[in-house]
Structure 1
């Protein structure tokens, strides 16, 4: 049974139990996909890493040269149809390119902006004529692309853009005016995907070339991190854009903008995996060499605990991200990208918008945690730029702002779920009614007897977490109805529950699948990391659910709800100290992040 045959609807994970056969995991990588990963790694190690110091000093010429070398290897055209010069690879293959590209530091951002948000708008939403004109040159790196959505006065509120487009009297060109802010690759890009409002009202997308009169860029921004990437404002002064360069349909630029952001959020999570693995490798290597009190600090239990926590979060991030990558591949593989598939592409990408936001939030915060612990293991040397962990730490911070801030994404996750329920796309209300009947009857405490099946206790915890979300979410909706969107603190807690449930389930399904396919012994490290993560976050699950209930109920109703919560969260605690020591030992033996037993 393939992922394509069993692909769930977006957000469905919160309502139903998933089958581990229906999710893609890293253990499913094909030999071809692994070969692409190795090729990317070799390119970074051989061509990019030795020049990292020059790249970090904003050497445009070098960055463009390396991008063209990447183009020669096919690393710029993974998502582009073959007819336009691309490789037409599956989404998992292009994800692996992104994961291994991150070791190129700022170069990976230049690459990602070009192949992702800079090229994909044309791939998914362009006409055949636009694709034929621009994609072959973007695939080779002859031309570099940039994505221009943010403005000085509109960041998260993308539709509040002030850039304007007016059709000239001859009907041949749109005249664009405005300024775009924080544009990656602006200093050397040749093609810009620009959003503006036709007649100040209809939000639309345009393909603009650097050579068009009136196009200019401002000064480079001085940034905290990603210093080797170009970040400038794009200035449009009466720029005449041919009508055939309108991307998609007039007034429907939001479909392009939001869906490209969806893919961008997913790819950001992929990059976070690669950077986390890199940080673990650097921290392990340093801890094996650094001596304090006449012994290598790798032998200190607290250092091992940090390495275990870093590995656990990376494992969970890897599990939920590639699970989502499987959904992206299944949703888009049927699209004939040689043609104009505007509406079909928008529908396919939008389906798992909830999961893409989860990937973005979880991945960016997991990387921040891993990078921070990596610096701590390095001690004072972690604060010195000579050590790569310092760069990883600085570069990681932008990810919680990129592609919509984590706060915005947290609001989107539960609000999108509720919107789909109102549209009849998900049976949320029916599930709430069924749960309400169950909860009002007799409910015994969670069974904490000795489990007889693999990860049985964790499976019960996951089921309880979903009930907690539905109870808390249903109570909030019942109290506030449509106005729940204004209760941002409540939405944040509901979002945290959804993110954590998706993370728990993804880790659990992956460990079960590996055990089924390769044997329990081979899956033991994944099992241990899954169990440790369940224990670590369980108190947070209780806290978020209680927080929503206390804010939305009172009196006897609240007391009854809290008693139900108490029954649902009752678990048998595990000795996570022992679990984490075993996890750390495997990382130390491998001298890198690993999910396999030796």
Structure 2
């Protein structure tokens, strides 16, 4: 694959060009029309049937999925040659975000179009694609993805489902079980992972009517009650040999590549949920009156709206920045021909690290937003009549789906280090450069000019990158290749990278507005939210670094490193009270998420 102009993980060691960053302000008219189509579909088809969907009406969900297929909403990621739309990833990201208010139905669609269909798009043979993709794109068939087992969740390669090639070579005989399979109640095709001869992790396409294949009862879940979640059982289930997906023993390539895009798509869905939650919260805060005033006028309530809005803005900036990076990568490799799908999967894998970052940040941000949404609703937020109660329950699964956030945290620094060891990132060189810089006399502290609204966030970002390099280098020096066993340190390094990517995404978006000549008033909200997030990120960076240093150093050595840290994090605090007041005033005025 051709070397990317901007490779995955590079944000840690280099500064990106804001002009190249994709933002929601770049949406084309066609993309906006796509979003409008989804909104109309939800308003006309989903909202009136929401209560029935939540009662887990299989027939209704399938009927609505076929209507979505008629609109092209199920084939956005499917190439045109196989009956889909073949849209770019920015468009499909917008589709996933906009569909989010459809709640459980959105999850059913997401599981079908993402992890259910993409294995065939990327890894299917031409014959397999021709056989199944057109019907998946239309909604004639519904797909499910089957990886988790009773004894293997995060340790996916520990799967025990076994596959043995029959003596005549015509089929594989599967034995084992799967757990927590979304869409299982009504799916027609199942992407199933099993070990051939108990050793070679592989993927198969299993049809619902396969002899020996049965589906267990529905799980009783905390949330997403309108989606189907059931176990699967294989007892000498005979799967035709030509249903093998990819090569024997190469199932991990399929599983992990699909999880990359699944994590990213999940972040897009969470983004849509956050926007719905703040809309509900601000509407209630504007209507609810206490002590003779709307509760939105009270600073402790308006401050919550400001923090919620800022998290959404940062998440939105990250999600569409990442979509743009993936689109650039896909444009370089192309996606046509028999090998196009595999090339596309490899291009997306370039940003596996960023996909994990998006998944963690946005799923946790959504939890924070819906939690504050419930708090703003007060007692009403605990009552099922109000949708914020359902959003609160539905949100919790996102930190578990597509690899737990703990597993993703462990993946992020490990992936970065592997890229550095392969010579794909100048991580070690940048760390050594920083060490030389720190040996020089400390220049006097300078304060960014007050008339440069992005100067302070930029200074915070620069100090956070240096702090990450400092503590990361110390951790590697002390633990070497054993660092992966120090999970708390690794998780702290991951959190540092997440905050860096989040702040940089917000900052790049704000800078792009100024480059395009946006009026000061038009960009003011972007500037304020970037500054507010930077203030919190700076506090977290300091606390995180001190905690890690205390685990790495002792005595005089610790005191020396803490003095270096203090030098790196010499950032002047901002008036966050004023920032929140300005941001919340805009949110309250528009009655929903205020991006700009």
Normalising by structure 1, report the TM-score.
0.97
Following superposition, the deviation at residue 101 of structure 1 comes to: 0.8
Is the 2:459–2:571 contact (alpha carbons within 8 Å) kept by the matching residues of 1? no
* Cα separation, partners in 2 of 1:462 and 1:155, compared to 1, 3 Å: same
Normalising by structure 2, report the TM-score.
0.97
1:581 paired residue number: 581
1:483 paired residue number: 482
Is the 1:446–1:569 contact (alpha carbons within 8 Å) kept by the matching residues of 2? no
Question: Residue 125 of structure 2 is aligned with which of 121, 124, 127?
Answer: 127
Tell me the distance in 2 between the aligned counterparts of 1:584 and 1:32: 31
Following superposition, the deviation at residue 61 of structure 1 comes to: 0.4
1:280 paired residue number: 278
2:378 paired residue number: 379
2:357 paired residue number: 358
After superposition, the C-alpha distances for 1:360-419 in whole angstroms (9 at most, x for unaligned) are: 000000000000000000001101111010111000000000000000001110111111
Tell me the distance in 1 between the aligned counterparts of 2:505 and 2:12: 12
Corresponding position: 1:472 with 2:475: no
Following superposition, the deviation at residue 205 of structure 1 comes to: 0.5
After superposition, the C-alpha distances for 1:123-177 in whole angstroms (9 at most, x for unaligned) are: 0111111100000100111010000000011000000000011111111111111
* RMSD (Å) for aligned C-alpha atoms: 1.4
Corresponding position: 1:418 with 2:425: no
Is the 2:182–2:228 contact (alpha carbons within 8 Å) kept by the matching residues of 1? yes
SS in 2 for 1:205: strand
Is the 2:192–2:205 contact (alpha carbons within 8 Å) kept by the matching residues of 1? yes
Tell me the distance in 2 between the aligned counterparts of 1:273 and 1:404: 18
Following superposition, the deviation at residue 453 of structure 1 comes to: 3.7
Is the 1:445–1:570 contact (alpha carbons within 8 Å) kept by the matching residues of 2? no
Mean alpha-carbon deviation: is it higher for 296-305 or for 310-319? 296-305
Tell me the distance in 2 between the aligned counterparts of 1:584 and 1:367: 18
SS in 1 for 2:174: strand
Following superposition, the deviation at residue 287 of structure 1 comes to: 1.1
1:153 paired residue number: 151
* Cα separation, partners in 2 of 1:445 and 1:279, compared to 1, 3 Å: farther
Following superposition, the deviation at residue 219 of structure 1 comes to: 0.5
Tell me the distance in 1 between the aligned counterparts of 2:425 and 2:527: 31
Is the 2:335–2:343 contact (alpha carbons within 8 Å) kept by the matching residues of 1? no
Tell me the distance in 2 between the aligned counterparts of 1:175 and 1:483: 40
1:405 paired residue number: 404
1:21 paired residue number: 19
Mean alpha-carbon deviation: is it higher for 510-519 or for 43-52? 510-519
Following superposition, the deviation at residue 5 of structure 1 comes to: 11
1:570 paired residue number: 570
Q: How do 1:387-466 and structure 2 match up within 5 A?
A: 387-444=386-443, 446-451=445-450, 453-466=452-465
After superposition, the C-alpha distances for 1:176-205 in whole angstroms (9 at most, x for unaligned) are: 111010000000000000000000000001
Following superposition, the deviation at residue 560 of structure 1 comes to: 2.0
Q: Which segments of 5 or more consecutive residues in structure 2 lack a partner in the other structure? A: none
1:65 paired residue number: 63
Q: How do 1:271-310 and structure 2 match up within 5 A?
A: 271-310=269-308
Question: Residue 318 of structure 2 is aligned with which of 317, 320, 323?
Answer: 320
Following superposition, the deviation at residue 519 of structure 1 comes to: 3.3
2:530 paired residue number: 530
Tell me the distance in 2 between the aligned counterparts of 1:90 and 1:272: 20
* Cα separation, partners in 2 of 1:8 and 1:446, compared to 1, 3 Å: farther
Following superposition, the deviation at residue 344 of structure 1 comes to: 2.3
Mean alpha-carbon deviation: is it higher for 336-345 or for 157-166? 336-345
SS in 2 for 1:203: strand
Is the 1:515–1:521 contact (alpha carbons within 8 Å) kept by the matching residues of 2? no
- How many residue pairs match? The answer is 593
Tell me the distance in 2 between the aligned counterparts of 1:414 and 1:336: 30
SS in 1 for 2:522: coil
Tell me the distance in 2 between the aligned counterparts of 1:444 and 1:404: 45
2:171 paired residue number: 173
Mean alpha-carbon deviation: is it higher for 450-459 or for 308-317? 450-459
Is the 2:449–2:455 contact (alpha carbons within 8 Å) kept by the matching residues of 1? no
Q: Which segments of 5 or more consecutive residues in structure 1 lack a partner in the other structure? A: none
1:213 paired residue number: 211
* Cα separation, partners in 2 of 1:445 and 1:318, compared to 1, 3 Å: farther
1:94 paired residue number: 92
2:101 paired residue number: 103
Is the 1:63–1:107 contact (alpha carbons within 8 Å) kept by the matching residues of 2? yes
